[in-house]
A = this chain, B = another copy of it.
């Protein structure tokens, strides 16, 4: 099969706020080849990722992503890896390329799943899709009482694990943060898993991060996520050495495999969190999962958007039964809920699994997206390089 088309669908809520809520927009990708269709999703900044697909080339290793994808042969997972290597080489100097390609790569896996009537996780070599314990991802409340209330609501909804983050954590005093952690633990009960996301708030300030460790340990937090800039490995490792049993987590921003494995090798993390919509897709994420498993580090998905992205993010570690924790977007936008015809719902154990169905196992409800779709037009020298609704995804003149 040859890749016939790559189309983008940029959907957004009517109002996109400054909240740390990644579900306010989405960039869906539809790939067709040999009469089959696959869907994927890029994370994030839809307009910029579209531009990286159609941009005029700058030179031999700064080519638009389209030039390494359109017309390529797609018959097997090996073809996906080959195309991924082409993009890495030909778009070496195009920074956004990894985000753009991630959604395309995911769609290629979905397409092959439909072609072979197999779930993606089987194509990846796993024999079964092991259940995961989803954690409800939420922001800290404005007060400890509000944090308690939010976490309590998640436990009532059936979650055995909760992650709280952002919302001022790390910006004030350790005592202020400790009060929120006590509230979260109280709401969760003794048995629940408590995860905490610092959102890079300490930048590179080891002491500021370390000042939060006693309260995190007292609240029996399983991990502290992204305390620092993601590539500040040394301070990660130093914090891990004094973290009193609280694991350090990170990796969501990785846009190459090595960015994630370096965090394991040099940053001392116990949990590596991968967003398939950023790292280059499912193949790259699987490489990290394999590496993490070999190193005794727990692989976790990073997902804050749709259930299409959630399924894509579960595939790379679906068969790693010991890697149990899974991020689950608990308060997604209406857009994120509407994008797929069905969702990955919690079972009676409060668990989820990657679907046992062809491809990603979810259908995109294109007919429901109308109210959210944004039209994009990009032209250079008066020639249209991209226009929403053009089924070719781009015009033939992009290389001119």
Q: Which residues from chain A sit less than 8 Å from chain B, CB to CB?
A: 10, 12, 16-22, 24-25, 43-48, 50-52, 54-63, 88-89, 92-96, 98-99, 199-200, 229, 231-234, 253, 255-256, 258-259, 262, 265-266, 278, 374-382, 385
B62 touches A44 (CB 8 A): yes
Cα(A94)–Cα(B52), bound, Å: 12
Cα(A375)–Cα(B378), bound, Å: 11
Q: In the assembled complex, how far is the CB of residue A49 from the closest CB belonging to chain B, in whole angstroms? A: 9
| Residue among A17, A89, A380 facing the most chain B CB atoms (10 A cut-off) | A380
Residues of chain B within 8 A of A200, CB atoms compared: 89, 92
B60 touches A17 (CB 8 A): yes
When all copies of this chain in the complex are counted, the total is 2
Residues of chain B within 8 A of A44, CB atoms compared: 58-59, 62, 93-94
A12 touches B56 (CB 8 A): yes
Residues of chain B within 8 A of A379, CB atoms compared: 376-377
B18 touches A231 (CB 8 A): no
Cα(A58)–Cα(B278), bound, Å: 14
One of B46, B57, B58, B231 near A58 (C-beta < 8 A) = B46
Q: In the assembled complex, how far is the CB of residue A378 from the closest CB belonging to chain B, in whole angstroms? A: 5
Cα(A134)–Cα(B253), bound, Å: 37
A51 touches B47 (CB 8 A): yes
Residues of chain B within 8 A of A233, CB atoms compared: 258, 262, 265-266
Residues of chain B within 8 A of A25, CB atoms compared: 56, 58-59
Cα(A12)–Cα(B400), bound, Å: 12
One of B20, B61, B376 near A61 (C-beta < 8 A) = B20
Cα(A385)–Cα(B374), bound, Å: 13
A60 touches B95 (CB 8 A): no
User: A256: nearest residue on chain B (CB-CB)?
Assistant: B231
B60 touches A20 (CB 8 A): yes
A48 touches B96 (CB 8 A): yes
Cα(A379)–Cα(B10), bound, Å: 13
A-B contact pairs, 27 of them (CB 8 A): A16-B56, A16-B57, A16-B58, A18-B59, A20-B59, A20-B60, A22-B93, A24-B58, A25-B58, A44-B93, A45-B58, A45-B62, A45-B93, A45-B96, A46-B55, A47-B51, A47-B55, A48-B96, A51-B51, A51-B378, A93-B253, A95-B95, A95-B98, A233-B266, A266-B266, A375-B382, A377-B382
Residues of chain B within 8 A of A57, CB atoms compared: 16, 18
User: A266: nearest residue on chain B (CB-CB)?
Assistant: B266
User: A399: nearest residue on chain B (CB-CB)?
Assistant: B16
Cα(A259)–Cα(B323), bound, Å: 29
Cα(A21)–Cα(B57), bound, Å: 11
Residues of chain B within 8 A of A381, CB atoms compared: 374-375
